[in-house]
Amino acid sequence: MRIVLTGGGTGGHIYPAIAVGKQMMREHPNAKLLYIGTERGLESRIVPEAGIPFESIDITGFKRKLSLDNVQTVIRFLKGVRRSKELLRRFKADAVVGTGGYVCGPVVYAAARLGIPTLIHEQNVIPGLTNKFLARYADCVAVSFQESLAHFGKAKRTVHTGNPCATHVAAANRNKGYAALGLPEGSRIVLVVGGSRGAKAINEAMVDMAPLLGRLPGVHFVFVTGETYFERTMERIRQVTPIVANYLHVHSYLHNMPEVLAATTLVVGRAGASSLAEITALGLPSILIPSPNVTNNHQEANARSLVEAGAAEMVLEKDLRGAELLDRIDAILSDEHRLRSMRRASEGLGMPDAAERIAAELNRLTRRG
């Protein structure tokens, strides 16, 4: 089986595609993968590091208002379709998986025109422009959130699979997480993280909280700043608390996030689709602070899905204050009944077999093809 993966711009599109590819390799050891992205996107670095062959096309996204730039984008799209057809024919693709981002537009469209089975995956509650466009051409639309199904009413087939990033995290070893952090097994851990690149607003709230953390005895705060913010954030923490307490553990980045998540008691962070898939796969309660700087404010919609299920609380960034955030953390951790209830609700939303579900759809499409 020969599978083409495409999607890019952000890790939220790239990592689900890689997760699907790895699942197909587990099920079909002789399968071949090819990833088509852009040289400008993160995929040009992340995909080769994952050991997957990479090819690129030249494409940019549409502006959301009338612009002469969109004329050039249409020209690039048509050229991208021609280039994609060449790559698909050369690779002899059996199926194409698109996970969003403008790069997957010409690739999936080209595959559909060539009669190659296609599947697109939507990570967020509110679909992106590219996936909404591709839905009419794709053989199957897979979604992470049940609420997304209504947005794809005219698609040939829609399935609620969850996010494939959940599958890898679900098997993580929590004891390895404790060991990596240098903490005793069973420690209560609050993981504060603003995404892989960090979040300035969350970092500022954590700086404000730093002198107050002693109010929660026995709780370890694992704080991930993002590499760009690390030095400045550490400098500010030392200004407000000259001796950094042994219950505050500050990191620029965590390379073993699945294991750390498995050891975590409560997550405080953004509401990106892949992050929420990982959180719910492990049944973790969370306090979500959606980024307001994303298309269609989709992180707030993602967060609201968990809040309405009882798995999370939400704090809008404009309302974020360090002392008030600590009060929320304290209220959850000090109420064991509430903590258990949030865990159950999170588990109820989790789909740790998401990659397997998507692989099953691909197997169905290729058998049919």
Could you read off the pLDDT of 236-285 as tens digits, one per residue?
Answer: 999 998 777 899 999 999 989 999 999 999 999 999 999 999 999 999 99
Residues 108 and 26 in one domain: yes
- pLDDT of 310 reads 98
Q: Sorting pLDDT into bands at 50, 70 and 90, what band is 170?
A: very high
pLDDT digits (tens, 9 = 90+) for 190-210: 999 998 788 999 999 999 999
Residues 242 and 152 in one domain: no
pLDDT digits (tens, 9 = 90+) for 129-152: 899 999 999 999 999 999 999 999
Task: Inform me whether the pLDDT recorded for 64 exceeds 90.
Answer: no
Residues 271 and 217 in one domain: yes
Residues 101 and 46 in one domain: yes
79 or 76, higher pLDDT: 79
Average pLDDT over residues 16-37: 97
- pLDDT of 369 reads 47
Residues 188 and 203 in one domain: yes
Annotated binding-site positions for UDP-N-acetyl-alpha-D-glucosamine: 10-12, 124, 196, 299
Which CB contacts under 8 angstroms, 24+ apart, belong to 211-216?
211/240, 211/241, 212/322, 212/323, 212/326, 213/245, 213/247, 213/248, 213/326, 214/245, 214/247, 215/326, 215/330, 216/326, 216/329, 216/330, 216/333
How far CA 273 is from CA of 83, 97, 143, 335, in Å, comes to: 30, 18, 11, 27
CATH number at residue 26: 3.40.50.2000
Residues 246 and 311 in one domain: yes
Residues 113 and 180 in one domain: no
Give the predicted TM-score (pTM) of the model: 0.87
- pLDDT of 41 reads 86
Residues 61 and 139 in one domain: yes
Of 60-74, 141-155, 347-361, the least confident? 60-74
Number of domains comprising the chain = 2
Annotated binding-site positions: 10-12, 124, 196, 299
Q: Sorting pLDDT into bands at 50, 70 and 90, what band is 368?
A: low
Residues 145 and 237 in one domain: no
Average pLDDT over residues 208-222: 95
Q: Sorting pLDDT into bands at 50, 70 and 90, what band is 51?
A: very high
Average pLDDT over residues 100-120: 96
364 - beta bridge partners? none
- pLDDT of 313 reads 98
Residues 223 and 130 in one domain: no
Averaged pLDDT score across all residues of the chain:
93
Residues 174 and 159 in one domain: no
Domain that holds residue 339: 169-349
Task: Inform me whether the pLDDT recorded for 224 exceeds 50.
Answer: yes
Average pLDDT over residues 321-344: 97
Residues 156 and 300 in one domain: no
In a 10 Å sphere around its CB, with 0-12 CB exposed, 13-18 middle and 19+ buried, how is residue 363 labelled? middle
- pLDDT of 76 reads 85
Helix (H, G, I), strand (E, B) or coil at 327: helix
Task: Inform me whether the pLDDT recorded for 29 exceeds 50.
Answer: yes
65 or 239, higher pLDDT: 239
Average pLDDT over residues 62-76: 65
Whether the CB-CB separation of 357 and 159 falls below 8 Å is answered with: yes
